[in-house]
């Protein structure tokens, strides 16, 4: 429970208000273009990427990086107290990049999510709730300091982002269960 509360409080500083609003981190302009070949920004996330399907991470791609710093990715349900579904860090630097469905780039690490395990946990809102908003935020980080060890907590990844974010990009998807 402490992990979830700590991550939620920290993420309030990072996540847009939801429903398409955009709020940038100070000093981290929104210059990355984050997208997915599986769904459009603001659209529903396909079932295969949720707890009702295969529960595998969706493919993502980005452009606009400087190529000097590693990247971190955070996926949060902004309608459920900023529940962290995925925290990825040490994604190798490049001006453009991608993450394949169900896989990570070589060298990338996954942090512990709000489900209590390292890795991806797909959207899984309560049955009957209105659509929840899943905010995918990619950050390019300043190249400094030692990398985080594997399996860090979401709050440690959030601290890293707050201290070293150079730029960011956002992608929002929705999901509701009948």
Enumerate the β-bridge partners of residue 25.
Answer: 28
Q: Which residues contact 1 (CB under 8 A, 6 or more apart)?
A: none
Give CA–CA dist 85/126, Å, rounded.
15
pLDDT at 17: 35
User: In this structure, what are the phi and psi dihedrals at residue 21, rounded to the nearest 5 degrees?
Assistant: -65, 155
**Counted domains in the chain:** 1
Q: Does any domain span residue 42? A: yes
Handedness of CA 84, 119, 29, 147 (dihedral sign): positive
Per-residue pLDDT reduced to its tens digit, 79-93: 998 899 999 999 999
Q: Does any domain span residue 97? A: yes
Q: Does any domain span residue 134? A: yes
Give CA–CA dist 77/133, Å, rounded.
6
N- to C-terminal Cα separation, the chain: 27
Taking 80 as the threshold, does the pLDDT of residue 16 lie above it?
Answer: no
Structure tokens at 119: 């890795």
User: What's the 3-state SS for 129-153?
Assistant: CCCEEEEEEEEEECCCCCCCCCCCE
Q: Which residues contact 10 (CB under 8 A, 6 or more apart)?
A: 155, 158, 159, 162
Q: Does any domain span residue 57? A: yes
Per-residue pLDDT reduced to its tens digit, 92-130: 998 999 999 999 999 999 999 999 999 999 999 999 999
Q: Does any domain span residue 154? A: yes
Q: Does any domain span residue 23? A: no
pLDDT at 48: 97
Which domain, by its residues, includes 108? 2-16+29-175
Classified as helix, coil or strand, 174 is strand
CATH number, domain at 125? 3.90.280.10
Residue with tokens 């993502």: 60
Give CA–CA dist 123/114, Å, rounded.
12
Structure tokens at 149: 């060890």
* Distance, C-alpha 22 to centroid of its chain: 15
Taking 50 as the threshold, does the pLDDT of residue 151 lie above it?
Answer: yes
């Amino acid at each position: 429970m402490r992990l979830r509360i700590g991550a939620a409080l920290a993420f309030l500083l990072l996540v847009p208000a939801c429903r398409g609003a955009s709020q940038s981190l100070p000093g981290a302009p929104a210059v990355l273009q984050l997208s997915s070949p599986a769904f459009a920004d603001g659209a529903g996330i396909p079932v295969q990427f949720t707890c009702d399907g295969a529960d595998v991470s969706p493919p993502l791609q980005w452009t606009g990086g400087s190529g000097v710093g590693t990247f971190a990715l955070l996926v949060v349900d902004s309608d459920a107290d900023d529940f962290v579904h995925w925290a990825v860090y040490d994604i190798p630097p490049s001006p453009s990049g991608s993450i394949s469905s169900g896989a990570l780039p070589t060298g990338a690490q996954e942090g512990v999510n709000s489900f209590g395990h390292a890795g991806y946990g797909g959207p899984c809102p309560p049955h009957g709730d209105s659509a929840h908003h899943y905010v995918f935020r990619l950050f390019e980080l300043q190249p400094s300091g030692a990398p985080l060890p594997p399996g860090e907590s979401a709050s440690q990844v959030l601290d890293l982002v707050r201290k070293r974010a150079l730029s960011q990009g956002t992608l929002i998807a929705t999901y509701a269960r009948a």
